A and B are shown apart, each in its own frame.
Chain A
């Protein structure tokens, strides 16, 4: 039964840990949509308060804990912000190692999202577990790629999650040459798995829905901007310096969400893989452009469901770019660097792209050397406003031909497509005894 002339209420009461708790509410009367809301009801996590009073070098390691998936991104963005406050200029060697660390995280995160959250929807599986039963080779490939990316992060950062090697001004421990060589070989050997990933993504039938919005990402004149760049808007086709991020995010509150919303030149904006793809297509490596062509993905793309395809393209880009960077770093004789610095009071702002979009960190240090003020604006909070607007636009378009169940699934898929970054769940094992 389709939705025309129907009166119904869909209430997805727990969309599973969007900052812990979130829900989708849809109400229609006689086929007319009365309400579509994405409600975020989780309390703040107060990381900005935790770091008050801390020394500059402690902050990147602490804020890494904001997220178990984007830990590298938070650490890197904080490192850049603190370095900006202290006027520390990292060496070319350090920047290259950080870019590699950043891209290792992109591969980790995108593989996880594409294979474990998006693909099951399109293959008619309830989750990755039935998929592992029906298509074990698909899931094994995903785990191979994930393991490779995890190990790549560990080689550079000392461990696969919450790396400890990166610090202010450089790396406390440099990667071993042998490990870098081995990682290079493994990345080269992973190319067939990537090609197969593109082939699988080609088969995913995306809902036929488009809504043009403002796309915001970093932009860099020389590279596909992930580690560095200025803030670019697709609306103005211009950039603003990262220091002006508060003029971009313009955070505000709404009654039904404890997460703040953002808007820039219009009512909402989109950050993440699709925004980067739309804004920086020209800077993708040829292999990634080929993957996009194979997927039929063209910039600009206005279908948010295709954020998943943009993630596949970025996985190809990051893998090949990592191969280039590893080849480059193996030309170096990596040298231990002096990590000492002189403290000065001041404020610093840093920004990186993380898998789910642009991330901002902002720290102020007082005369005592301690952090006196902090601010972090994560991609998901910037996206929430845009996600709800997508939902509001999608429901009336699709309602006449779609059943309630189908609509509910498509709403969840839409939210999943944005790959929302959620406050890390406590790793609790829930057990029910049966014997």
Chain B
């Protein structure tokens, strides 16, 4: 079995890149058997769903999420804890989101556990760097992600 940690986000929307940066940092810090770390930059929902369907490990998605929490905080979510926004009637492939990707993978038979390490952003406006407050929260978030991963790959 094992665990795949998937960083998701956009490098040019400030705190939306936090998932990518955290997984990138974790990859430099950690090397464990049965642990795979991957980035999906600006991936459309079908790509995320496709990747989930081809995975043979448990999955931890690391992403920026608007969940009504205090900015800079994180939550570890699993399917029964949250209802994700599902979009219908969209006019463009850009209109779908991660909630749709999870729902699609689920409908098509993805059965392995998926959890989400979700981080509430401060600022998702256009820009190449994290907001100063997210930068300040970064060490805490990396430590928390590392601990979460350790917990999840425990035999």
Interface residues of A (CB under 8 A from B): 15-18, 45-46, 65, 68-69, 71, 109, 112-113, 116-117, 126-129, 132-133, 136, 139-140, 142-143, 146-147, 150, 159-162, 412, 415-416, 419-435
Contacts and interface: CB of A to CB of B under 8 A. Distances in A.
B98 interface: yes
B12 interface: yes
Contacts of A430: 65-67, 84-85, 97, 99
Contact of A117 (B11, B47, B92, B100): B92
Given A422-B94, A433-B67, A136 B84 contact: no
B97 A132 contact: no
B82 A432 contact: yes
Nearest to A112: B93
Contacts of B121: 428
B95 A434 contact: no
B95 A422 contact: yes
Interface in B92-150: 92-100, 103-104, 107-109, 116, 118, 121, 124, 126
Given A429-B116, A431-B77, A434-B82, 5 more contacts: A126-B88, A127-B86, A129-B100, A150-B50, A433-B68
A116 B96 contact: yes
Contacts of A129: 86, 88, 100, 103-104, 107
B104 A429 contact: no
B5 interface: no
B29 interface: no
15 contacts: A17-B94, A109-B93, A147-B50, A160-B43, A416-B92, A424-B10, A427-B16, A427-B64, A427-B97, A427-B98, A428-B121, A429-B99, A430-B84, A431-B82, A432-B82
Contact of B91 (A15, A45, A132, A429): A15
B95 to A, nearest CB: 4
B30 interface: no
Interface of B: 8-13, 16, 40-44, 46-47, 49-50, 53-54, 63-68, 77, 80-100, 103-104, 107-109, 116, 118, 121, 124, 126
B41 A162 contact: yes
Given A147-B50, A424-B42, A431 B66 contact: yes
Q: In this complex, which of A65, A127, A140, A426 has the most chain B Cβ atoms within 10 angstroms of its Cβ?
A: A426
Nearest to A150: B47
A10 to B, nearest CB: 14
A12 to B, nearest CB: 9
A127 B87 contact: yes
Contacts of B92: 16-18, 117, 416, 419-422
Contacts of B63: 427, 429
Nearest to A431: B67
Which label, helix, strand, loop or mixed, suits the secondary structure of the B interface?
mixed
A432 to B, nearest CB: 5
A38 B50 CA distance: 34
Q: In this complex, which of A65, A136, A420 has the most chain B Cβ atoms within 10 angstroms of its Cβ?
A: A65
B54 A428 contact: no
A429 B118 contact: yes
Nearest to A127: B88
Contact of B12 (A65, A127, A161, A425): A65
The list of the 9 closest CB pairs from A to B, nearest first, reads A430-B85, A431-B67, A68-B42, A127-B88, A132-B107, A429-B65, A422-B94, A16-B95, A126-B88
Contacts of B88: 126-127, 129
A126 B87 CA distance: 10
Nearest to B93: A112
A126 B44 contact: no
A427 B95 contact: no
A411 to B, nearest CB: 10
B107 A136 contact: yes
Contacts of B41: 159, 161-162
Nearest to A146: B46
Contact of B11 (A65, A133, A146, A160): A65
A18 B117 CA distance: 30
Contacts of B87: 16, 127
A432 B64 contact: no
B46 A431 contact: no
A159 B97 CA distance: 21
Nearest to B121: A428
A78 to B, nearest CB: 16
Contact of A435 (B8, B11, B80): B80
